[in-house]
């Protein structure tokens, strides 16, 4: 696989950075993730660390060198992360559980597969336009879809930070149907926290991605988001990939946008992850963190 990839994370105007960004790769597969710990609850950075760390640990275990089922991998990883956050809070006897939102994407066989919980976003940009953007799990997104407010108003609406879903909450997350898209040469897949996308206009995002090399575009967008947000800037985090490998047409052409596994129509219960799965995942996370600190 040939691609350029860059990431950035800044603390902004906050006292700590509760965002976590990660990516992992093999010669045949790439995983990217952004988690944004919720500041209105204790230890949001712990929830974000668990979510991203568990994804990475699971990827290192299963991508050898490719994932058997990328969508199934993402769904199971979200389930394990939610359960692990609850388990960790119970062990520490916290009065309230740490919480985080998450967006994650797998690139394999020239195709991007992604899912999310909350308001961290994925953008897929092609030929200077946004081909896909994840739908925020927020009250203001519902207001836009019902026609009660215009999309431009969501960025300054007083309810813009009110989430309908997260990891670690009292209700199990119910992600929408996961998406996938066959990539074209020079497509950009960008994952980010709301501290990145909220201060930026769509025109600014597309202009900088189109007129700069990816590394410079990411740096300039992060700087612009921080400047536009001012002193109250949220944590700002992003990871972006530019696909540079022409993909041969499959024998039977698939539709460009495919909806797979609608979780809202199944009996998936994110609390019914076995104790063994959670313990193994937490142990794997610890092993990964030890390896990272020693490298």
pLDDT 10s digits, 20-72:
999 999 999 999 999 999 987 778 999 999 999 999 999 999 999 999 999 99
Q: How far apart are CA 258 and CA 177, in angstroms?
A: 10
Percentage of the chain beyond pLDDT 90 is 62
Question: What is the extent of the structural domain holding 51?
Answer: 3-250+259-278
Does some domain include residue 293? no
Q: What is the mean pLDDT of residues 109-115?
A: 97
Tokens of 54: 């568990």
Does some domain include residue 285? no
Tokens of 228: 């536009």
Whether residue 14 has pLDDT greater than 50: yes
Q: How many domains does the chain have?
A: 1
Q: What is the mean pLDDT of residues 116-124?
A: 96
Question: pLDDT at position 38, please?
Answer: 92
**Rg of the chain (C-alpha set):** 18
Does some domain include residue 284? no
Whether residue 286 has pLDDT greater than 70: no
What does the DSSP assignment read for 56-86?
A: HHHHHHH-SSS-S-HHHHHHHHHHHHHHHHH
Length of the chain: 295
Does some domain include residue 289? no
Question: pLDDT at position 63, please?
Answer: 97
Whether residue 245 has pLDDT greater than 90: no
Q: How far apart are CA 137 and CA 160, in angstroms?
A: 10
Does some domain include residue 292? no
Does some domain include residue 290? no
Q: What is the mean pLDDT of residues 171-197?
A: 92
Q: How far apart are CA 250 and CA 233, in angstroms?
A: 45
Does some domain include residue 287? no
Q: What is the mean pLDDT of residues 122-151?
A: 84
Does some domain include residue 205? yes
CATH number at residue 148: 3.60.40.10
Question: pTM value?
Answer: 0.83
Q: b/e for 42-56, b at 16 or more Cβ within 10 A? A: bbbbbbbbbbbbbbb
């Amino acid at each position: 696989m040939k691609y350029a990839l860059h990431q950035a994370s800044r603390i902004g105007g906050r006292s700590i950075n509760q965002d976590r960004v990660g990516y992992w790769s093999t010669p045949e597969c790439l995983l990217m993730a952004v988690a944004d710990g919720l500041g209105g609850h204790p230890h949001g950075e712990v929830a974000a660390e668990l979510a991203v760390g568990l994804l990475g640990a699971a990827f290192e275990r299963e991508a050898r060198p490719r994932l058997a089922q990328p969508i199934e991998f993402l769904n199971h990883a979200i389930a394990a992360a939610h359960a692990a956050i609850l388990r960790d809070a119970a062990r520490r006897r916290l009065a309230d559980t740490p919480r985080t939102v998450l967006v994650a994407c797998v690139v394999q066989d020239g195709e991007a597969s992604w899912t999310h919980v909350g308001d961290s976003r994925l953008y897929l940009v092609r030929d200077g336009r946004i081909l896909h953007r994840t739908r925020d799990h927020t009250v203001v997104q519902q207001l836009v879809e019902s026609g009660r407010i215009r999309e431009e108003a969501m960025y300054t609406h007083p309810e813009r930070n009110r989430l309908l879903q997260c990891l670690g909450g009292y209700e199990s997350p119910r992600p929408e149907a996961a998406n996938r898209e066959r990539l074209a040469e020079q497509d950009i897949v960008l994952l980010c926290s709301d501290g990145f996308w909220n201060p930026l206009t769509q025109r600014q995002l597309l202009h900088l991605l189109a007129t700069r090399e990816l590394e410079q575009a990411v740096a300039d967008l992060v700087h612009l988001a921080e400047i536009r947000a001012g002193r109250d800037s949220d944590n700002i985090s992003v990871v972006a990939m530019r696909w540079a490998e022409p993909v041969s047409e499959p024998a039977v052409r698939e539709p460009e946008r495919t909806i797979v596994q609608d979780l809202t129509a199944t009996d998936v219960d994110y609390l019914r992850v076995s104790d063994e799965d959670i313990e193994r995942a937490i142990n794997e996370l610890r092993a990964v963190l030890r390896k990272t600190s020693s490298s």
